[in-house]
Chain A
Amino acid sequence: NAGVMQNPRHLVRRRGQEARLRCSPMKGHSHVYWYRQLPEEGLKFMVYLQKENIIDESGMPKERFSAEFPKEGPSILRIQQVVRGDSAAYFCASSRSNYEQYFGPGTRLTVT
């Protein structure tokens, strides 16, 4: 499967716990993007990363959220001390240097 992979597909966390979402881009893709889709809303850009660099994090909440894309391994979106409002579908996309982004299947986070 050469597509973008995300895991887990479903994640349940209690309030105050940490959530770690993983994204493996398509082979040959060095650009990774994270989006959030709240219930009944569209996709909201969160962060754009290249290997070991955050290029644009203008869509990331100022606190509790962080993202990384290390030299080796998947990109990680980390949410500390989750709250109920963090419940959403989180999508990762990857691209080469062109504009077309390919999306993973998403991780559905539920905070109880």
Chain B
Amino acid sequence: DQQVKQNSPSLSVQEGRISILNCDYTNSMFDYFLWYKKYPAEGPTFLISISSIKDKNEDGRFTVFLNKSAKHLSLHIVPSQPGDSAVYFCAASADNNDMRFGAGTRLTVKP
């Protein structure tokens, strides 16, 4: 039961341009959403989060947008840098603190 879906397994972007990573969810009970970044052979690291009472959260080059009616969130990275190349996981949790992850999107930022 895939409650969190990242339909694009990979994304390639030129350095300096915007990267947009998308995520869809099916469980309307989810009220907190997070993005994690993962480099090879390392654990995921927390990047940015958003509560369901908001529709946008910004932290430097990273902005997360939440569209509750569409059950969709996206992560914008601008400007993209080669060091941003990694796998990005979308995650969602409900009140009980369990978290469900998407399958990940591999972002490649080309110099």
Chain A interface residues toward B at CB < 8 A: 4, 6, 31, 33, 35, 41-45, 48, 55-56, 91, 93, 95, 97, 99-106, 108
**B99, B100, B103: which has the most chain A beta carbons within 10 Å?**
B99
Q: List 30 A-B contacts (CB under 8 A).
A: A31-B97, A33-B99, A35-B101, A41-B103, A42-B101, A42-B103, A42-B104, A43-B44, A43-B89, A43-B101, A43-B104, A44-B101, A45-B99, A45-B100, A55-B97, A56-B98, A99-B32, A99-B49, A99-B93, A99-B97, A99-B99, A100-B34, A100-B46, A100-B49, A101-B46, A103-B44, A105-B41, A105-B43, A106-B42, A108-B41
Known: A99-B32, A99-B99, A105-B43. 15 other contacts (CB 8 A): A4-B43, A42-B101, A42-B103, A43-B44, A43-B104, A55-B97, A91-B43, A93-B43, A99-B93, A100-B49, A101-B46, A103-B36, A106-B41, A106-B42, A108-B41
Q: How many residues of B contact A (CB 8 A)?
A: 22
Say yes or no: A45-B34 contact (C-beta < 8 A), given A100-B46, A104-B43, A105-B43: no
**A95 engages B43 (CB within 8 Å):** no
**A6, A45, A99, A106: which has the most chain B beta carbons within 10 Å?**
A99
